[in-house]
Amino acid sequence: MIAISLALVIAIVIPTLAYTYQTTPKYVSSGIVIRTPTVGLGIYWDLECTQPVTPFDFGEIIQPDWEMKLWKRVYIKNEGEVYLDIYWNSTLPAVSTEIAEWWCVRPDPDWGLDPLNGSRFGVGALYVTNYIIKVPVDSAIGIYNWTLTVWGVH
């Protein structure tokens, strides 16, 4: 009887002890850094991106007898870590109701039909762009100064 009782206790107690036994917890260091991606936009005079754009100076012209188109070729580069949609605006409409302007993503000012606004620049992308102004015949004589603003949106 003792042997059967002992066998019964072993059969019930050992599995119960095995079931409730657990190991010591182990802790593993972990972490995450969430940062804002670098958003960089470079505007340069040269293809090698070594000469940052300074003010666009169209110089001095004689009052035109015919419509004149003047342009500045610049290179815009996405220097950040994310794609950018590029936009620009200007204060020229407040300065002159006569001079028109465009900014396009084409190398030829006569074919500048792809507007810069809304153009998507991938990481590291470099685009040839032209900022163009059109000075009409018999424009008002004067000095015209305006500001261009260029930015990228992710």
The answer to whether the beta carbons of residues 32 and 75 sit under 8 Å apart is no
Encoded tokens for 118: 């809304």
Give the residue extent of every domain in the chain: 41-153
For the segment 113-128, what is each residue's pLDDT rounded down to a tens digit? 689 999 999 999 999 9
For the segment 68-87, what is each residue's pLDDT rounded down to a tens digit? 999 999 999 999 999 999 99
pTM score? 0.73
The mean of the pLDDT values for the chain is 84
Helix (H) or strand (E) holding 54: none
One-letter amino acid identity for 123? V
Q: Would you state the CATH architecture of domain 41-153?
A: Sandwich (2.60)
The answer to whether the beta carbons of residues 71 and 104 sit under 8 Å apart is no
The answer to whether the beta carbons of residues 124 and 99 sit under 8 Å apart is no
